[in-house]
Amino acid sequence: MRIQKEAELEQGLVLEEADLALIHQLSRKKLTREEVYAFCVRLCDNEVDRDGERFSAECLGELARLFVGKSGIFDHQWSAAGQTARIYRTELVREEGTLTQAGDGYCYLKGYAYLLRTEKNRDLIAEIEGGIKKEVSVGCAVERAVCSICGADLRSGSCGHVKGQEYEGKLCFAELQGATDAYEWSFVAVPAQRNAGVIKTFDTQREQLEREARLGRKYLAGLKDEVARLGALADPELESGVLKGIADKLEEGELLALRRAYEVRLDKLYPAQTQLNYSGAQQREQKDGAFLI
Ligand SMILES: [Zn+2]
């Protein structure tokens, strides 16, 4: 079960020798204190959140191990340039005297992350330092969401208890247990008017859509080149620029039909040579196919 939660960015911190040693393990390159910028992220805690869920303290302990080495990606303006931060250490922090809604001691998982102090990262570090609020979204996978009232798995809905409701004065919530994986975390710009809960699913969906769109454009561009190339072979009278212009205006279905037609024509014109062309086209198709998966 995949879980996505918001986290909180904390201030920058002063690096100790021990921190540098841990960073060194991840960077595989010896870095000096001046080359590294470090900051903290409050990754997740055992308080019941607005989804009526919380991590058990044991689960936070498991996540502490899983989050080490995981990358954080920034807004698109940053991630386009390849800026990433990495968690080099985690710590389960117990706040003495603070109780959760469920009545037990409050604790949270703190992540220590680092960034390289490069020219490219300078503005980004200034933003973090300046306290410009950024939402941090973290994702992980857990095995169970246990009902706080009866102990059944709440996802199956078999017990009939509803998250957020009280039963004889006891709050029903889902306790997330058995962490199995931790994913990349991301900084997302805070929209001016954000509805609670929207940001969590929106972000991953948007990334997925953008990735698919990128792959689609790449595939289509390859197909257009291929059609223009085959067209020039099949009809040497036509200028390649004209063919390219035509191909650019066509949709995928039309391009595939045209490619097929050119291949048939080339087969008739140059039986021996076309086999080579044809196999070339096949290979390209397979390559693009692999991108699309
Ligand atoms: Zn129940």
Q: What is the dihedral of CA 68, 74, 80, 85, to 10 degrees?
A: -30
In the chain, alpha helices (H): 17-27, 57-66, 76-79, 122-129, 198-234, 240-249, 252-269, 271-292
Q: Which two tokens stand for residue 282?
A: 């096949």
What spacing in Å lies between the alpha carbon of 107 and ligand 1's midpoint? 24
- 95: tokens are 């706040």
DSSP string, 164-226: T-EETTEE--EEEEEEEEE--EEEEPPPSS--TTHHHHHHHHHHHHHHHHHHHHHHHHHHHHH
What average pLDDT does range 40-46 have in this prediction?
88
Residue 172 CA, ligand 1 centroid: distance in Å: 8
Q: Tell me the whole-structure pTM to 2 decimals.
A: 0.61
Most confident of 5-19, 141-155, 184-198, 267-281: 141-155
Rounded distance from Cα 1 to ligand 1 centre (Å): 18
Average pLDDT estimate for 56-71: 95
Is the predicted pLDDT of residue 106 greater than 70, yes or no?
A: yes
From ligand 1's centre to the CA of 3, what distance in Å? 20
Q: Tell me what the pLDDT averaged over the chain comes to.
A: 79
Q: Give distance in angstroms: CA of 164 to centre of ligand 1.
A: 12
Torsion angle, CA of 46/48/50/53, rounded to 10 degrees? Answer: 80
Is the model's pLDDT at 75 over the cut of 60?
yes
CA of 104 to the centre of ligand 1 (A): 19
- Å from CA of 230 to ligand 1 middle: 65
Give distance in angstroms: CA of 154 to centre of ligand 1. Answer: 7
CA of 149 to the centre of ligand 1 (A): 5
Can you give the pLDDT at residue 293? 33
Q: Is the pLDDT of residue 272 over 70?
A: no
What is the end-to-end Cα distance of the chain in Å, rounded? 22
Measured in Å, residue 166 CA sits from the centre of ligand 1 at 11
The average pLDDT across 126-131 equals: 74
More confident residue, 121 or 176: 176
Report the separation in Å between the CA atom of 20 and the middle of ligand 1, taken as the mean of its atom positions: 47
Distance 57 CA to ligand 1 centre (A): 20
Mean pLDDT (whole number) for 147-174: 92
173 Cα–ligand 1 center, Å: 9
- Distance of CA 59 from the midpoint of ligand 1 (Å): 20
Q: Which amino acid is at 282?
A: Q
| 148 alpha carbon – ligand 1 mean position (Å) | 7
Give 43 Cα–ligand 1 centroid separation in angstroms: 27
Ligand 1 centre to CA of 170 (Å) is 11
Checking if the pLDDT of 132 tops 90, the result is no
Contacts of 137 (CB under 8 A, 6+ apart): 4, 5, 6, 7, 185, 186, 187, 188, 199, 200, 203
Q: What is the pLDDT of residue 186?
A: 79
